[in-house]
Amino acid sequence: MNQELMKRTIGYYPGCSLEGSSREYKESVSALADAFDITLEQVPDWNCCGASAAHNLNKKLALALPARVLAKASAAGMTELLVPCAACYNKLSVVQHELQNDAALLAEVEEVMGQKLGSPLRILNIIQFVQEEIVPRLGNRVVQPFDKVACYYGCLLVRPNDILKFDRVEDPQLMDEVMQALGAETIDWPFKTECCGAGLSVSRTDVVANLSGKIVKEASERGAKAIIVACPMCHSNLDMRRAEINKRYGMKYNIPVIYLSQAIGIALGLQEQQTGLHRHFVKVDHTEFCKMQQRQPVTEQ
């Protein structure tokens, strides 16, 4: 089989954050896919994963929403599904696991949806995607290697550990390994999975300022020059709420918060606009966290 010559196509579920508050995440994932000639095939007629609201209201709804996304993907012939948003990834993975292990529940949910769930999908988070599809093909394309960074995983990518099976539950390493492939030195810090304040971002900004502030403070004090994230919620709290954080801590932390996909874009020398870096609240200046520029970026072919 000449699979190398065929264009790689992978199922793709953006979710709502990537359409709204985290447009830059979507832009950077798309830019990466383009740069590596990967087609992202969106799940047809996709819907909300339920986010943080559904499971507080109605258990069946909380199961049926992600299940419908999975059913649509499966019906479209997808076997793998890239889910960049950590919350969507968590919801889809947990629901798939729950339904696979409970035939009675599955039957109920299928009745609610009015369709079959279909065969199970391999659900990929952004780190897995990057590690499998991008890192092996980096070759000599890294033109702006990173300096010292802090990888921050948050909670949704790693918990519950029984289902998501991340490498090390309290001290995950996968993102660190990707960043090391981009030349970065990743700091060894104990805040990788600490809570950022999550959905209190809207209702209790004081709590978020306190919790996210600790993360920003620790990363800065331990010498990191950028915080790398893989979750829209974490990004919002660390980036958008920076003014509150600085006010609360009486400091002027200006460490930028960058999505993993953006980080790769920076390393490859993609334009700031392509990966949405201009949309951040905390200014992103790659000269602050990249080692010297080695050579000119490869221009579009």
Partner 1 sequence: MARIGVFICHCGENISATVDCPKVAETAYKIPGVVFSTDYKYMCSDPGQTKIKEAIKEHNLTGVVVSACSPRMHEPTFRKACAEAGLNPFLCEMANIREHCSWVHEKSEETTEKASDLVRTQVEKVKRNHALESIKVPVNKTAVVIGGGVAGIQASLDIANAGHKVVLVERDPSIGGHMAQLSETFPTLDCSQCILTPRMVEVAQHPNITMMTYSEVESLDGFIGNFKVKVRKKAKSVDEKLCTGCGLCTTKCPTKKIPNEFEQGMAMRPAIYVPFPQAVPNKPVIDRVNCKFFTSGKCKVCQKLCPTGAINYEQEDELVELEAGAVVLATGFDVLKTTYFPEYGYGKYKDVINGLQFERMASASGPTHGEIRRPSDGTIPEKVVFLACAGSRDPAKGISYCSKICCMYTAKHTMLYKHKVHSGTPYVFYMDIRAAGKSYDEFTRRAIEEDGAKYIRGRVSTIYEKDGKLIVKGADTLLGGKPVEIEADMVVLATAGVANHGAESLAQKLHVSYDNHHFFAEAHPKLKPVETNTAGIFLAGACQAPKDIPESVSAASGAAAKVIGLFSKSELTREPVVAKVNRTPAPPFSSCMGCFMCKEICPYQAIDKEEIKDRAGNVVKVVAHINPGLCQGCGTCVAFCRSKSIDMEGYTNEQVFAEVEALLNNS
- Please spell the DSSP secondary structure of 151-214, one letter per residue: E--TTTTT-SHHHH--S-SSS--HHHHHHHHTTPEEP--TTTT----TTHHHH-HHHHHHHHHH
Among 147, 171, 185, 244, binds partner 1 (CB under 8 A): 171
Q: Give the binding range for partner 1 (CB under 8 A) out of 87-95, 109-117, 163-171, 228-236.
A: 163-171
Q: Give the binding range for partner 1 (CB under 8 A) out of 81-89, 151-159, 162-170, 248-256.
A: 162-170
Q: Does 177 bind partner 1 (CB under 8 A)?
A: no
Q: Does 165 bind partner 1 (CB under 8 A)?
A: no
**Residue placing its CB nearer to partner 1 in the complex, 164 or 264:** 164
Q: What are phi and psi of 143, to 5 degrees?
A: -105, -20
**Per-residue contact string for residues 32-61; x = within reach of partner 1 by CB under 8 A:** ------------------------------
Look at strands 38-42 and 8-12 and give their pairing.
parallel
Helix (H, G, I), strand (E, B) or coil at 91: helix
- The CB-of-142 to partner 1 minimum distance in angstroms stands at 29
**Residue placing its CB nearer to partner 1 in the complex, 133 or 171:** 171
Q: Does 190 bind partner 1 (CB under 8 A)?
A: yes
- The CB-of-192 to partner 1 minimum distance in angstroms stands at 10
32 vs 255: CA distance, rounded Å: 24
- The CB-of-170 to partner 1 minimum distance in angstroms stands at 4
Q: Does 163 bind partner 1 (CB under 8 A)?
A: no
**Residue placing its CB nearer to partner 1 in the complex, 216 or 264:** 216
Nearest to 127 by CA among 94, 164, 76: 164
Helix (H, G, I), strand (E, B) or coil at 80: strand
Among 170, 250, 252, 295, binds partner 1 (CB under 8 A): 170
Which tokens in the block code for residue 96? 């798939």
| Amino acid present at 19 | E
Helix (H, G, I), strand (E, B) or coil at 232: helix
- Rule CB under 8 A: which residues touch partner 1? 168-171, 189-190
